[in-house]
Structure 1
Amino acid sequence: MVSVGVVRVEATRVWNRANTMIRDDGMGRTVGFLAGQAWEHATLPLLRRDRADARFPFDGAELPYEYSWYGQTWRNERTVEIAIARHFLATGTTGRMLEVGNVLHHYGIRGHEVLDRYERAVPGVISEDVIAFDPATRYDTIVSVSTLEHVRCDEDEKDPRGSTKALENLRRLLAPGGRMLVTVPVDWNAGLDADLASGRFALDRGTFYRRTSRFDWAVTEPEQALAMRYGTPYEAANALFVTTTP
């Protein structure tokens, strides 16, 4: 069952994009976009049915893709990321958990602390800088879904190594024996891409994925992933890095 809040958020997202398209691309393309959006939302139950057996690999398991109204996950990397986050959290002890970036509650995963510098109006969210964040106690679980690529890239302060500095601080905040999952898209942040290529942005284990069709993702070599471009040939990320500890 889709909540009224999710419908409202998605309607606002589509409306804002349509307004931008009217200005940049004209009415004809905008009408086509809106018709396509209406069709995709109406046929989402059919997509779920037709792809019920589709899987992708992660950490020795074969996971089903996430097809959610919120964020239109069938159109982007969330289809893999949310599925991985669900599996990661279900296969270990969570304990005290920190999420960096306010993402998971939109997909029904709640009850943990959230650190998000720019969500100041959201009750319960810690609005602090992830690089400088230094709580009194450490976390048993840390998760970040497509958030660290924005650190010192989309902000006023610029630092090509901002994402890696954030990752290093999060590793420091992990309690002994703790677990961490971090995902980032390829080709969003040039400094991050350089650190991905050199291996500086990584925890104990890392896996690159690339998009092989509109809906499918596969494990790939770093060189192949880093050659992919954001936004082409498919919408949003076309390659993704997933790293975990231990």
Structure 2
Amino acid sequence: MGLFQHKFRPQFNMNGKQFYYSKSSYNNFSERSIEVPVAKDFFNKYKEKKILEVGNVFKNYNNEKVTWDVIDKFEVSPNVLNIDLMDYEPVNKYDAIVSVSTIEHIGQTTEPTGTYGENTLDKDREAPLKAIIKIYNLLKLEGEAFITVPYGKLVDFKWLIQFNKEYLYLLFAKFGLPKEDVNFIFYKKTDMELMGNPPVQLWEQVNMEQLSDTKFDSPFPCANGIVFIFIKRTKSKDIILNINQPETNLFYNDPDIIPNFYFSKFTHLHSFDSSGWIQIPKQGLISMYPEIQLDNGEYEITIEIEVKGNKRVYFDLSVNNKSFLNYEFAAEKKVKTKFNLSESKNIVSINLYSGTDQEIRGEFRVKQISLAKIIN
């Protein structure tokens, strides 16, 4: 059982075909759990052909010797060409191109740990779309590509773009990708164990609309929705790509300030099991989030907590050392509310407490605590 009490299965379906989740311990708490098995299937289809990988990912999940071409602008590794995809002009085109969890980073700024990304403030929000067009142009006629990117609410994380429908469809309306050459398949992460190596996950194939409110890093780490982009090139003429085209005026959501409970900066004073259950102490502080500074404006907070054992869990959000929002949780309850901060600088803290009943034992788990600023 996971955080949302689903029964886990060892495999997932894609249009009726079964794939087994990746069991690699490498970065497998993320969407790689389903990306890698599909990528392997794609590789096997073309293993005797000329293949390009954009982003040095697949070698971490494959015991075979790397016999395909790999480009990665930042990761220095044997047999990897360190070049920007947009500058890559090979002599011969490719039968197949694969790119896993890479395209969304192209043209964006440095990843939070500083591991990779452009060390510049000059970024292009539509660079990932231009990269997909570049991949199309690098394919031979009848060549195929497999690309994965995060999908849900349109968000600019500075170091990556999470796609949505309006953004994705710019591929056709603005950049000229032939619709008949593309197939989209969407997945949503519906549950996950919170411990284990790798933790067990559950992904479901869904339609585009079912991901419209999906957030990155909430309630589970990394992408909670993804789109598989399958391309088969049927046009012999390359798409003319103007990389200096001005950006389309789209609304980009701000990322959550607090993205999730179990994998973020919350301090857990009591341990939790693989399904997220935390023992409720007799009385006092259970979990706390480090103080954060927020500017003025409108915010939205979502809290969903499940409680067992007739106990109470209390949520408190304090602003400038004064209690600002309070909620009591028993059984199962979800709260979603908006609030305004009027001061130019606000010190905000979030804490969870147990009640005063010292005789009754219980457990609780947090299905979601997320805080985001609303941009009008």
TM beyond 0.5: yes
Show the counterpart of 2:148. 183
1:199 offset after TM fit, Å?
Answer: 5.8
1:144–1:181 CA contact under 8 A, matched in 2 = yes
Percent identity, aligned pairs only, is 28
1:158 offset after TM fit, Å?
Answer: 0.7
| Partners of 1:183 and 1:69 in 2: CA distance | 20
Verify: 1:235 aligned to 2:221, yes or no: yes
Show the counterpart of 1:10. none
Which is strand-richer, 1 or 2? 2
Larger CA deviation: 57-66 vs 230-239:
57-66
Q: Structure 1 residues 93 and 111, CA, compared in 2 at 3 Å: closer, same or farther?
A: closer
Q: Structure 1 residues 65 and 245, CA, compared in 2 at 3 Å: closer, same or farther?
A: same
Secondary structure of the structure 2 residue equivalent to 1:243: strand
| Partners of 1:81 and 1:216 in 2: CA distance | 13
Please identify the structure whose Cα radius of gyration is greater: 2
Show the counterpart of 1:222. 208
| Partners of 1:59 and 1:126 in 2: CA distance | 35
Give unpaired runs (5+ residues) of structure 2.
1-6, 110-117, 193-200, 233-376
Show the counterpart of 2:60. 106
What amino acid is the match of 2:136?
Answer: R
* Alignment equivalent of 1:209, drawn from 174, 187, 190: 187
What amino acid is the match of 1:106?
Answer: N
TM-score after normalising by structure 2: 0.48
What amino acid is the match of 2:204?
Answer: A
What amino acid is the match of 1:185?
Answer: P
- Count, aligned residues: 193
Which is helix-richer, 1 or 2? 1
Show the counterpart of 2:108. 153
2:150–2:163 CA contact under 8 A, matched in 1 = no
2:46–2:95 CA contact under 8 A, matched in 1 = no
2:46–2:96 CA contact under 8 A, matched in 1 = no
Verify: 1:79 aligned to 2:79, yes or no: no
Show the counterpart of 2:86. 131
For the aligned residue pairs, the C-alpha RMSD in angstroms reads 2.3
TM-score after normalising by structure 1: 0.71
| Partners of 1:145 and 1:181 in 2: CA distance | 8
Secondary structure of the structure 1 residue equivalent to 2:135: helix
Q: Structure 1 residues 222 and 94, CA, compared in 2 at 3 Å: closer, same or farther?
A: farther
What amino acid is the match of 1:242?
Answer: F
Give unpaired runs (5+ residues) of structure 1.
1-49
Q: Structure 1 residues 195 and 67, CA, compared in 2 at 3 Å: closer, same or farther?
A: same
Secondary structure of the structure 2 residue equivalent to 1:82: helix
